[in-house]
Amino acid sequence: MVKGIEIFCKNINEYLCVQGGETLSEIFSRIADRVGIKPICAKVNNKTEDLGYPVFAPKQVEYLDCTSPSGERVYVRSLCMIMSKAVRDLFPTLRLRIEHSVSGGYYTQLINAEGMAETPKPGDLDAIKARMEKIVAANVPFKRHERLTSDVVKMFEEAGLHDKAALLGASQDLYSVYYTLDDTPDSYYGNLAPSSGYIKHFNLLSFKEGALLMSINPKKPDEAKQPVEQEKMFAAFTDYVRLNRIVGLNNVADLNRAIADGKASMLINVAEAVHNQCFARIAEQITERYRQGGARVVLIAGPSSSGKTTSALRLSIQLLTNFLVPKKISLDDYFVNREDTPKDADGEYDYESLYALDLKQFNTDLNRLIAGEEVDMPTYDFPTGRRVYKGNKLKLGPNNILLIEGIHGLNPELTKSIPEDQKFRVYVSALTTISIDDHNWVPTTDNRLLRRIIRDHKYRGVSAQQTIARWQSVRRGEDKWIFPYQENADATFNSSLLFELAVMKNYAEPLLRSVPHSAPEYAEAFRLRALLNFFMPLEEKDVPSTSLLREFLGGSSFHY
């Protein structure tokens, strides 16, 4: 046995001498009193590993608890496997399907042998939760295995996990990783906790025709998250999930099969037609309110890389077909002078803050425009950091409507002096509805991050590493300034496209591979590569120039 291996532990900033083959968990037991956290996983040379990982060579190690992004993902995956086992134990003729994240949790359904969702009967969810709590109390280990893919596929088929078998069966990997919890096998694209005893805080609530699985609150790790109202978001998800079922795309294996069978053009056309239909429907709603004397101001908001810009342009075209002529205002032109910009916790200018805008002047100008007055519009000069006036006049005539795109559009404070009947709010987000398999979904934030990585590299010369490094700051801004107000929307537009991850794969993978192994951002780049690895690549040639995806790929017929 190799002895005397040195690893560097970032948690204590020291080298530790370990024996070859010691696991991360065994090593941590010697320094637990010096670290002050209960780790659920660790970064080894900037790649996330489970605590059963054996060390045979010098490594850099950083232990992570469930309050970290990587640790929270490990917690959620482990919780999902516990629920899957509980359902399997109690209802062997049903299977668990985890659809997507909504209302602060994960929407789950019980699926029968015919592939139909069954609404839980009274007492079913209480029984499942009680079984989950018993599994947690038993502290059952999650055992990691790696076997020939052909053998894993056969095992999944025998266990009734046909979605997972189909996905692995189409892969070109010789070996595949899977986990067992007692006698229950499962697979996840990421690590799990050492044992079920780590997953102490969760909740299971009745929700719609299924249940809402609430994971840990990383801000308060001694309790589960509380649900938040997201009725409009859920409706947008449900519409797209229903479409997925109709076109026969329940998961990535179905998408890959369609691409292999030469049906990609049909899928692209259907997805683009859905977007056209959505823009037309929203334009009709705006037009109807306008003709009743309201909706002179249309506010379009959404998180980073949701496709707000293309949505505004395509909505403008639909409004024109309804004989309404949009006039666009940029919120950026209402930035306060740079020295008056609020600062964040790090002392940097916080341009994402609502109060980086001159709200008083903005509301004054909007009210004057609605009243039919001519207004001298400002221009923000970014090099000098000051708002200037260049004689740009704007006046609303008959059939004119104001279109304003920006992250704060749903915040009542932005337009507090504008009468409610004069506003129509549109929320845009990429609500990814295609699942990897029954227990693995594609997080909406991952879809948006991949879009942003591609766009930032193509149009801004920013590397994938730089985009990933900034992403947590972007997400904090969204949590503060966007997500609390998304239910204020009059219409919600899902900008995701069924096929987009298959198309983005060709663009994103080389950029993700460019992130150096020595960089802290490598773990996230590796995780995103693992996600894209499930998708068969799809050429972009059939993606129309008007597609929202072109905002990120290039080749759009719109000018941004």
Dihedral angle computed from the Cα positions of residues 16, 20, 25 and 27, in that order, rounded to the nearest 10 degrees: -20
Which of 180, 176, 182 has the alpha carbon at shortest distance from 152?
A: 176
C-alpha separations of 550 from 448, 468, 560 in Å: 14, 21, 11
Tens-of-pLDDT digits for all 560 residues of the chain?
Answer: 445 799 999 999 999 999 989 999 999 999 999 998 999 999 999 999 999 999 999 999 999 999 999 999 999 999 999 999 999 999 999 999 998 889 999 999 999 988 889 999 999 999 999 999 999 999 999 999 999 999 999 999 999 999 999 999 888 889 999 999 999 999 999 999 999 999 999 999 999 999 999 999 999 999 999 999 888 888 888 888 888 888 888 899 999 999 999 999 999 999 999 999 999 999 999 999 999 999 999 999 999 999 999 999 999 999 999 999 999 998 999 999 999 999 888 888 888 899 999 999 999 999 999 999 999 999 999 899 999 999 999 999 989 999 999 899 999 999 999 999 999 999 999 988 889 999 999 999 999 999 999 999 999 999 999 999 999 989 988 999 999 999 999 999 999 999 999 999 999 999 999 999 999 999 999 999 999 999 999 999 999 999 999 999 999 999 87
> Please, what are the domains in the chain?
5-65 (3.10.20.30), 70-228 (3.30.980.10), 232-553 (3.40.50.300)
Cα atoms found within 13 Å of the Cα of residue 91, Cβ hemisphere only: 19
Burial grade of 461 (CB within 10 A; 0-12, 13-18, 19 or more): exposed
Residue 504 phi, psi dihedral angles, 5° rounding: -70, -20
Q: Which residues contact 444 (CB under 8 A, 6 or more apart)?
A: 100, 101, 429, 430, 431, 432, 496
Is the sign of the CA dihedral 548, 553, 558, 560 positive or negative? positive
Q: Are 207 and 107 in contact (CB under 8 A)?
A: yes
